[in-house]
Amino acid sequence: MSLVNFGSINLDFVYRVQALVRPGETVQSLSLERFAGGKGFNQSLALARAGAEVRHVGSVGEDGRWLVEMLATEGVDIRNVEVVETPTGHAIIQVSARGENSILVHAGANRELSGSQLERACVDLGDGDWVLLQNETNAPEFVLAEASKRGFRVILNPSPLDSSLLDLPLDRVDTFLVNEVEGEALAGEADPDRVLGAMRKRFPAADIVLTRGEQGAAFSGRDGTSAYAGAESVEVIDTTGAGDTFAGFYLAALLSGANPQSALVAGCRAAAHCVSRPGAAPSIPRVSDL
């Protein structure tokens, strides 16, 4: 089986700061670096580095051709990535001395996926292929509609979560990958310890994976099964891309036949490696690193 990722491709501008900028405050950055990024890009990269067969569906501007070439070099199938006139999406990322981050995203070309491009990508899906969605492109509405017609499996990482996503037919999602903030918004439950249970009640037909940073990750299956894996203890340098790394390694493990417990462990181990290094894409490990 392979996974088809309808995902964003971004340029990440990472500013090192002593502390995250507060409203009305102006500060000098300590440094600036440019990285490849975007949740979709990071997750495709993580999937490929974890050994999965992955095809990416997305759009970039002329300034983003090198990002597409990077995906291809990593073994990602890029047949459904198009170059458009709109500039490539980008993110402005602050990273504090404590490793915390604050991210502002501009969609750019990520919102320019054409209907014909999306249709071709869905037609190309084979029996048993999985589909991965985030909310940084204009693909979720189309793909969720096609999922009900064609019956393919949809995994949703609802980030960034806004009203446009909440209005979609989320009952067509087979697996939710959420952090505590996203889980709270979807479940309507403010207590982190009760988010998973509340999501289980709202989406009884879906598998749910909840990541909780230093507290690890938990799984609740539609069949009543559950699993948990603790986070590994490391020195945190930069948390950017940790969730995407977890998603890639978790899904790659499932695709290879692992059970949810083993997949959670793989995701947490890869995420721990990620946060111990700077940047998003550069910090995503390979299987040999683990």
Distance CA 242, CA 236 (A): 11
The catalytic residue among 77, 124, 244, 289 is 244
- By DSSP bridging, strand 217-220 and strand 226-229 are antiparallel
Task: Judge whether 133 and 8 are in contact, CB under 8 Å.
Answer: no
Task: Judge whether 176 and 206 are in contact, CB under 8 Å.
Answer: yes
Q: Which 3-state string (H, E, C) describes the chain? A: CCEEEECCCEEEEEEECCCCCCCCCCCCCCEEEEEEECHHHHHHHHHHHCCCCEEEEEEECHHHHHHHHHHHHCCCEEEEEEECCCCCEEEEEEECCCCCEEEEEECHHHHCCCHHHHHHHHHCCCCCCEEEECCCCCCHHHHHHHHHHHCCEEEECCCCCCHHHHCCCHHHCCEEEEEHHHHHHHHCCCCHHHHHHHHHHHCCCCEEEEECHHHCEEEECCCCCEEEECCCCCCCCCCCCHHHHHHHHHHHHHHCCCCHHHHHHHHHHHHHHHHCCCCCHHHCCCHHHC
For the four alpha carbons of 17, 242, 47 and 59, in that order, the dihedral sign comes to: negative
Residue 167 among the catalytic residues: no
Q: Which sequence positions are flagged as catalytic?
A: 244
